[in-house]
Amino acid sequence: DFSIYLTGGSEINGATQYISGGQGFFLKVDSPGNIGTFYTDNSARLHNAEPTYKDPEVNFLRLSAEGGVFSDETIICFNENASESFDSEYDAYKFIVSDNVNHLYSRTSEDFSLAINTLPNILLDNGISVPLSYNVVESDSYTITATELESFLEANIILEDILLGTTTDLNENPIYIFTANPEDDPDRFIIHFNISSTQTQDYVLQEGYQ
């Protein structure tokens, strides 16, 4: 599995800002066409890594999917400095590097697949629905677990399973169990923030998730 760490402190699959010796990594430039040289010296070497902490004012939802022999994570969070479009400082693309592992990720209005998806706080205040996709490689029972919900205080967070036509209040039940197989449409979930369960069907019809 890929691990991702952003300079703001968000991470998935246990990543930190520290890279082990011999470990490969990707770098992404902040705008298309930028070229240059990445350089570091021995001063960057460390024997011990201090724990990292995320900004407590950021609303931060971690979703973990498990089943079979594979697991994956994705993050959806809200930050007043983020935008709805891709922000290199706050967002991270989802790399679908192999069809032989499961992948959990959210999607933007521009249909980008993101491992870390940071949106402006105003959208949380007004209510927003975020498409969530899960590719699986074998028929099995799976779970999606929501953690770090305490950062949302009184926010209403609902997981909708479009395939089954069900909704789950993640504040009351943060673990959702379901069956999936490779033939299922991976775009089967939606995370609704501050949208009541009576409004979710209207969203599905308007956005074409049928």
Q: What are the residue ranges in the chain where pLDDT is below 70?
A: 1-9, 12-36, 38-57, 197-210
Regarding pTM above 0.95, the answer is: no
What confidence score (pLDDT) does residue 108 get? 86
Cα(159)–Cα(161) distance, integer angstroms: 7
- Locus of tokens 């993050």: 75
Cα(61)–Cα(99) distance, integer angstroms: 26
What confidence score (pLDDT) does residue 208 get? 44
Length of the chain measured in residues: 210
What confidence score (pLDDT) does residue 50 get? 43
Contacts of residue 15, defined as CB under 8 A and 6 or more positions apart, other chains included, come to 3, 4, 5
Buried residues in 69-97 as b, exposed as e (16+ CB within 10 A): ebbbbbbbbbbeebeeebbeebbbbbeee
What confidence score (pLDDT) does residue 206 get? 46
What confidence score (pLDDT) does residue 55 get? 45
pLDDT tens for each residue of 156-190: 999 999 999 999 999 999 999 999 999 999 999 99
Distances (CA, A) of 141 to 177, 179, 181: 7, 4, 9
Candidates 158, 2, 29; CA nearest to 88 is 29
What confidence score (pLDDT) does residue 156 get? 93
